[in-house]
């Protein structure tokens, strides 16, 4: 009887989960990390009231054509409404209502095609501020060595891509069957140790100061902080661990971690390290893991 109750609970859980999975837009991709780092940098410049620096950064970006920023209370901070409208600002000002609606759906990001051609995307990201940008799909595809169609598929959820009711129903049924089968197997082997748990505990990680990195799990532990990592995060940290106390040039890091994906004049490394530092020390209270050596590169210095 207890087995039936648990299998029934699995079925009900599937009914809740499958529609959400079917409607969810992609996340946790390298593309999102790059875009969010870029938008966060623009938001930081704006927080400093550096209007010229903000506009210069946007105009120099190969990917971001235009941007608009609101505070959480809806007050527009960039472009300043009192200033003469710049040509770069016109696309987002013209689409302001549409972008506000898109930003409401951001958890923490949301994207959609700017028009039917798919040549540009509107992308909104929510932090302490709300920043929406008009992106060049072609430039973003070039940066990540993929096709424009792949960019649209990964970021934009068009109306035609939302699964219909029948698809979801059949998906629920299929997953429910799988859940029931899995439940039967689970109970028939209830005396068997949980291999996944054992493997996780047995994996040998590597150390970087007070940080322990587990590459297969894409996770790290630092004191009582559990940190989710990307493949590129792990590669960067492994490279620093292999070269303690050495000043590693940006080019060497690009060669070791990005390889052929490296684009000349890219700020991907700087933005990636900014994002990684926030993950490793979100409250900025712990010793620096990756030290910037101005004009040279970066260095990891083990504690004495």
- Ordered by start, the domain boundaries in the chain are 2-23+163-188, 30-156, 200-299
Angle between helices 2-23 and 165-188 (to 10 degrees): 140
In this prediction, residue 264 carries a pLDDT of: 56
| CATH code at 200-299 | 1.10.10.10
In this prediction, residue 178 carries a pLDDT of: 59
For residue range 117-174, list pLDDT tens digits in order: 889 999 999 888 899 999 999 988 888 788 889 888 888 764 334 344 444 444 555 5
In this prediction, residue 73 carries a pLDDT of: 80
In this prediction, residue 248 carries a pLDDT of: 93
In this prediction, residue 18 carries a pLDDT of: 47
In this prediction, residue 21 carries a pLDDT of: 42
Under-70 pLDDT residues of the chain: 1-29, 82-85, 157-203, 260-266, 303-304
The predicted model scores a pTM of 0.47
d(CA 200, CA 207): 16
Task: Please tell me if the domain spanning 30-156 has the same topology as the one spanning 200-299.
Answer: no
In this prediction, residue 82 carries a pLDDT of: 61
In this prediction, residue 200 carries a pLDDT of: 43
d(CA 215, CA 231): 8
Q: What's the CATH fold of domain 30-156? A: Beta-Lactamase (3.30.450)
């Amino acid at each position: 009887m207890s087995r039936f109750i648990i299998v029934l609970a699995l079925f009900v859980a599937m009914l809740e989960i499958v529609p959400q999975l079917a409607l969810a837009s992609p996340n946790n991709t390298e593309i999102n990390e790059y875009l969010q780092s870029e938008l966060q940098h623009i938001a930081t410049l704006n927080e400093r009231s550096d209007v010229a620096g903000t506009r210069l950064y946007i105009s120099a970006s190969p990917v971001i054509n235009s941007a608009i920023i609101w505070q959480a209370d809806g007050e527009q901070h960039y472009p300043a409404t009192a200033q003469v409208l710049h040509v770069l600002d016109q696309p987002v000002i013209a689409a302001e209502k549409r972008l506000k609606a898109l930003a409401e759906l951001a958890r923490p990001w949301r994207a959609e095609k700017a028009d039917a051609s798919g040549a540009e995307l509107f992308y909104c990201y929510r932090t302490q501020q709300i920043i929406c940008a008009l992106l060049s799909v072609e430039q973003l595809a070039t940066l990540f060595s993929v096709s424009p169609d792949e960019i649209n598929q990964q970021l934009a959820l068009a109306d035609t891509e939302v699964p219909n009711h029948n698809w979801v129903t059949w998906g629920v049924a299929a997953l429910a069957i799988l859940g029931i089968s899995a439940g039967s197997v689970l109970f028939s082997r209830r005396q068997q140790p949980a291999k996944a748990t054992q493997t996780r505990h047995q994996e040998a990680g590597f150390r970087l100061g007070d940080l322990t990195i587990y590459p297969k799990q894409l996770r790290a532990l630092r004191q009582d902080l559990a940190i989710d990592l990307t493949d590129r995060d792990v590669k960067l940290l492994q490279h620093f661990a292999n070269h303690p106390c050495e000043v590693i040039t940006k080019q060497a890091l690009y060669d070791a971690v990005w390889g052929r994906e490296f684009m000349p004049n890219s700020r991907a490394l700087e933005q990636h390290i900014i994002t990684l530092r926030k993950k490793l020390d979100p409250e900025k209270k712990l010793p620096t893991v990756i030290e910037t050596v101005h004009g040279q590169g970066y260095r990891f210095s083990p504690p004495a």
